[in-house]
Structures are given as C-alpha cells and as structure tokens.
Structure 1
Amino acid sequence: MTTTHTEEDTNAVYKGLFQHNVRKTYGLLRKPNIDINIYLKENNIPIGAILCDTFNFCMYIDVMWIEESYRGKGLGKALINQAEKIAKDNGCVFSHTCTFSYQSPEFYKACGYTVFVELDNYPNGIVQYFLKKML
C-alpha cells in the first residue's frame, strides 16, 4: 500500500470503477448520458449555475449556485425547472442532490424536493441533507 500516486493512477481507478458499474447495470449507468449545465451570466460573467450529471435515468444536481446579490429573485428556481425539464425530456424519472444546513435545504424543499436522509454527525450542529424529487 502507498499514498503516492500519479494522475494516471487516479484515472485508472475511476475508469475501472466506471467500467465495472456500466457492466453491472447492463449499460443503464450511461442513460441518458448527458450533462446538464446551465449558466446565468451578466456581461458574460457567471452569476449562477446548475451543474448536473445524469445516470440510471436520474439527474443528480452536483452544483447549484447563485451570486448572493441575485438571490431571492427566482433565478435558482428557474435554473432547477429548466434542468428538470431537460432531464425529463431525456427520460429521467427523478432528481436528487445533497446540501448542508448552512447552504440551501429550504430552497430545495420549496422546489418540491423531499429529504430522505439526514447525516448529523458533523461538528457544530452541521447537518447534511439528501433530497429527491420525482420528475
């Protein structure tokens, strides 16, 4: 065992795991095989975005961010609605994500997401929420 590694070592591990998962899901892991990345820009500068992966006919919201001065104007909800529409149009049946208590669990709940797991072992009362929504 070693902690010494190269970028090629890391890539080999990711590739091996991905190939295993594709085999075990009979290719379903690759469905619908699109990334959904939608950006909000002002003067060609990002002020928000939603970055999603799709696999097993689901959409995973990996990153969701709105510049603080633009929050509360419906932009986040518009991003989620557009991403969900693209996902549904491509066969996804549900969406899921995770967020921390200091981030945006109430925002996701307001968008129709329900909490299915809470991980509350972090220090300082921080809770991680795992949420899902049928599309």
Structure 2
Amino acid sequence: MTVAGEPNLIVGEQDSELTGRLERELDAFNEAATGAAPHGDVSVKVTDADGRLVGGLTAWVWGRLCGIELLWVREDCRAGGWGSKLIRAAEAEAVRRGCERMMVSSYTFQAPGFYQHHGYVEVGRVPGIPGGHADVYLTKALTDRGPGRE
C-alpha cells in the first residue's frame, strides 16, 4: 500500500521510458563532471547480395573514447574476415571522430582472443559469469597520443 507523499518503489521488466530518462540524466551529469559531451553512436553493418545481415557492430563515442557495445557475425560467414572488417571500420570511424582509444568487454566464451589479435590489451576481468566464465575488459590506443603510447 502506498501512503500519500511517500515514494513508490516499483520493480518490473525493462522500462524503455525509464531507460531513456536515466540515459539523459546520466549524460547530463557526466558532461558536467567531465566537460565532454557524448558524441553519439556508431554502427557498421554488412549485408549479403540478398540484403540479409552478415554482421554488424554498434558502439558509442564519448570524448576521445569509443566503446564497442555489440559485434556479431552470422555463423556461416565467420571465416570470411567480416569481424576484422567491422572492427577496422569502427576504429577508422572512431579516429575520424577524434577518438584516441577504443574499449570493449567480451565474455571469456566469446571473443577476447579476437580483440587481442587486433591489438586490444586486457585491463581487467570480472568473474561470476554463468558457467565459470568472466567478463574481460580490453582497450586499444588508436593514436600515438593515446593511453599506453604516451
């Protein structure tokens, strides 16, 4: 029962309105704290001759940092180098937008080795992922001025 004037605590499924509001509020707080406004999102996709998705990558840009959110390649196309092409295209776009560094997290059963092959360096890991796995955090300097190359 809710008493008038007291806050309501509501637990439920994903709430897109709440997500949008939290993103706006946190972006404003982060910009005030750092002086760097979010620069937006990046997407890269590959389609086959029939227009079907072969793979894609989504990322965000904030200040001089680009963070990969999602990278996926269709199973029957994984040996074609599309993951490498997607990541190189995203890195080039990040540099074009003034980024000096990339970051990504990948579960141990996914692709940390793929990112390391592309010059990413592990900077931390969080255990506790189901099946005894961990979430691996990696970063890569994109310019000679970036962290790790100073």
TM-score after normalising by structure 2:
0.80
Secondary structure of 1:92's aligned partner:
coil
Secondary structure of 1:112's aligned partner:
coil
Residues 16/120 of structure 1: CA separation in 2 closer, same or farther (3 Å cut): same
1:29: which partner in 2? 37
Find out whether 1:73 has 2:83 as its counterpart: no
Find out whether 1:131 has 2:138 as its counterpart: yes
Find out whether 1:110 has 2:144 as its counterpart: no
Find out whether 1:45 has 2:52 as its counterpart: yes
| Higher RCO, Cα 8 Å, sep 6+ | 1
Residues 7/132 of structure 1: CA separation in 2 closer, same or farther (3 Å cut): closer
Per the TM alignment, residue 9 of structure 1 is displaced from its structure 2 partner at its CA by 4.3
1:20: which partner in 2? 29
Question: Partners of 2:92 and 2:79 in 1: how far apart?
Answer: 22
Q: Point out where structure 2 has 5 or more consecutive residues left out of the alignment.
A: 1-7, 143-150
2:148: which partner in 1? none
TM-score after normalising by structure 1:
0.88
Higher helix share: 1
Per the TM alignment, residue 15 of structure 1 is displaced from its structure 2 partner at its CA by 1.9
Residues 7/120 of structure 1: CA separation in 2 closer, same or farther (3 Å cut): closer
Secondary structure of 1:120's aligned partner:
strand
| Structure with the greater alpha carbon radius of gyration | 2
Residues 68/16 of structure 1: CA separation in 2 closer, same or farther (3 Å cut): same
The percent of aligned pairs where both chains have the same amino acid is 23
Question: Partners of 2:130 and 2:72 in 1: how far apart?
Answer: 24
| Higher mean C-alpha displacement, 108-117 vs 5-14 | 5-14
